[in-house]
Amino acid sequence: MAVVERSAAPDVAEVAGWARGLETLHARIAGRFFRPEPRRRALAYLRALLSPVERKNGWQVAEQVGEATPDGIQRLLAKARWDADAVRDDLRAYVIEHLGDPEAVLVVDETGFVKKGRKSVGVRRQYSGTAGRIENCQIGVFLAYASAMGRTFLDRELYLPREWTEDPARCHEAGVPEGTEFATKPRLAEAMLATALDAGVPAAWVTADEVYGSDRRLQLWLERRKQPFVLAVRSRESVWVAGPGQAPRQLSAAAAVAQVPPESWQRRSVGAGTKGPRVYDWARVPLARWPEPGWRHWLLIRRSLTEPAEPAYYVCFAPDSAGLLDLARVAGTRWAIEESFETAKGEVGLDQYEVRRWDSWYRHITLALLAHAFLTVTRAAAGRLSGGRALAAGRVVPEPVPRVDPADGARGAPSARSAGLVTAPLQRGGVGVVRVAPPPSSHRQTLPLRSTSR
């Protein structure tokens, strides 16, 4: 997706509109805070996360909001009375109100937060895809929403390793709720998907990488809900292949490639990447599973044009009407969450916290996701405005907006700043705001979400 940045600086009305938009968003969550002081500080914290301050740690955030010490910020994250899960519900409602689309894709993935010492909740030496190696880190599992309007997050869970759940004293010291049991990453993903789907989040598909795709329980759970999915699996994944006129045979995903006739491969683009269209050869093999009327199971295979000997594999559950290109586009959408991690860490300080306890982690992460959603929604709204008009009190104006291939995005995608989501930060009255670049216009309709806030 090509986005052209506006070279002209925004006018005063635009800057004021963005500020009102953030205040409108804060008003949605204000009732979650029991006292006025943390309520006001939450707005200041959001402004600081959206500001151009280089590091969003306690001292620099405090300086940005005009406080002499980080004590007030620390109270907001550690001691003030408010429910991060309730704010998460408000985040979800906000995202779906502005970006909701029945053809959207729910994307599950994890990211690492490198930490020193052993006091930070959930920290241990474990593999971090962020670092590309084993590191002393925390792992967060996230649920993202990718629609034609934009990509941002809906939910988050902290992965708590077994060595933590088997050490009650350590958990107590870090503020882990009593009775918290060990849960694998796929179980955390399942819980977040259940919360979103039960709340009425409109989504046509679910996708995730091999950590989640190889979990048979997650596959079966989605099938029971009649929720279509395209889940990556490893080459050694066992699948039952239903050959024409043959009894089903159990093969590895890699061995199943031999079942694809040469003429069945299709060369298709699944969206524009940083170096142009992302073109691959695609094929699918029917799988033998318990029949569901109106539904099919497939093994989807993606073959690189430059490295055809290293294909990628996906198990799929889809309506009969779903074609090969439908499955390929969903598979390509998975990189949307990689882009969202990059922009959330680079623009709103998702990984720049200095907290150790359970509640504090959830509170910082939730507010950072809310700030990221604000950027995404503001950018989408800017695309609806003609002639650079100001955002009307943060409302998404019902004018034409872009319809973008949801598969757009790639590993190593550019940051929000370079992609046009965020350009040069500005300052007005001590409040950091960001300039957004509008995409071209086309038509879509927003969707309501039923509230589940407590």
The answer to whether residue 446 is domain-embedded is no
Residues 170-178: what's their mean pLDDT?
Answer: 96
The answer to whether residue 76 is domain-embedded is yes
pLDDT at 72: 86
Write down which residue in 312, 333, 354 finishes a domain: 333
Domains in the chain, number: 2
Residue scoring higher pLDDT (249 or 111):
111
The answer to whether residue 6 is domain-embedded is no
Distance CA 221, CA 130 (A): 28
Lowest-confidence segment of 132-136, 229-233, 281-285, 399-403 by average pLDDT: 399-403
The answer to whether residues 165 and 260 belong to one domain is no
pLDDT tens per residue, range 121-151: 999 999 988 778 899 999 999 999 999 999 9
Range of the domain at 52: 12-201+337-434
Is residue 256 over pLDDT 50? yes
pTM, to two decimals: 0.82
pLDDT tens per residue, range 69-88: 888 889 999 999 999 999 99
The answer to whether residues 90 and 157 belong to one domain is yes
The answer to whether residue 442 is domain-embedded is no
pLDDT tens per residue, range 379-401: 888 766 533 333 333 333 322 22
The answer to whether residue 279 is domain-embedded is yes
The answer to whether residues 192 and 327 belong to one domain is no
The answer to whether residue 206 is domain-embedded is no
The answer to whether residues 324 and 344 belong to one domain is no
Write down which residue in 313, 333, 353 finishes a domain: 333
The answer to whether residue 207 is domain-embedded is no
Residues 59-66: what's their mean pLDDT?
Answer: 83
Write down which residue in 333, 357, 385 finishes a domain: 333
The answer to whether residues 329 and 404 belong to one domain is no
Contact 261, 285 (CB under 8 A): no
Q: What's the chain's length in residues?
A: 454
pLDDT tens per residue, range 413-422: 323 333 333 3
